[in-house]
Amino acid sequence: MTSIASTARPDAPIGVFDSGVGGLSVLRHIRAQLPQEDVMYFADSAYAPYGDKTEHQVIDRSLAITAFLLQQGAKALVVACNTATIAAIKALRARYPDLPIVGVEPGLKPAASISRNGKIAVLATERALRGDKLLALREQVSAATGATFILQPCIGLADRIEQCALGNDPLDATSAMLERYIAPMLELGVDTLVLGCTHYPFVQDAITRTVRAHTQETITLVDTGDAVARQLARLLDAASLRRTSNDAPQLQGYTTASVEALAKAFAGLLDLQPPVAHLSV
């Protein structure tokens, strides 16, 4: 088998995928830190949300999408979805050992270093919070720092944010859901909230309003998109794959659902108008 590392070119694009539009929060950080890079963004919206799929289903989707992105010449892969990272990144690395792959995981380590009282809430999908990878990380960070992590499944929130991004859902309905999930955490005295799903940064203002309605204490929100972009930059540099061309960087969107919906999300969430194509993968 030909090594991907030996055939990839610095001017090749980076592949990014998520179950829907949540990964656009990670794309925002990638474009800020690596502005010269070409990027392909794949929204698997026809199969969203991943949170209610079996691990086997998520692995199958992740392998199929990665194969497509590699056919399009991707030099590196960002799994911009917590659920897909937890379920599938081991299988992706086994299948493509030479491919630079970055996953996202809830920011437990940075949260532990930031928290003043060691009480931290992790907001994520039910599937992500059940994953062995996250539970092992919680044990490791707790043992090292003494921090207590309270896991709060936010059932339906990613789907609700997806609808908000597409203009199909009133924000007050999302705010009611945030109230239900966040208020009990604040009552337990947490001072740090980990946004453990790539969708959640898009309602950061609404989360802050919910927090302010309950406490004037300083509550820190942790979004790991910035760390993902930094790790991607490190891997590209290590493989000598950083793009140096002065040509304008290209962004291409792909979706398994509505082209119009993804275009609307690009415009509404990132103020971008890239070409978007529909695929059956």
Q: Cβ atoms within 10 A of the Cβ of 240, count?
A: 9
Which of these is catalytic: 48, 77, 197, 228?
197
**Opening angle at CA 200, ends 168 and 193, nearest 5:** 145
Question: Which residues, including other chains, have CB under 8 Å from residue 55's CB and lie 6 or more apart?
Answer: 87
Strand duo 101-103 + 76-79: pairing: parallel
Report how far residue 197's alpha carbon sits from residue 124's, in angstroms, rounded to the nearest whole number.
5
Find tokens 């002065």 and name the residue: 246
The answer to whether residue 81 is catalytic is yes
Mapped to the 3 state alphabet, what secondary structure does 108-132 carry? Answer: HHHHHHHCCCCEEEEEECHHHHHCH
Token duo for residue 62 = 């992740």
2-14 in b/e form (b: 16+ CB < 10 A) is eebeeebeeebbb
Which of these is catalytic: 81, 124, 137, 265?
81
Report how far residue 38's alpha carbon sits from residue 76's, in angstroms, rounded to the nearest whole number.
11
Which residues are tagged catalytic? 81, 197
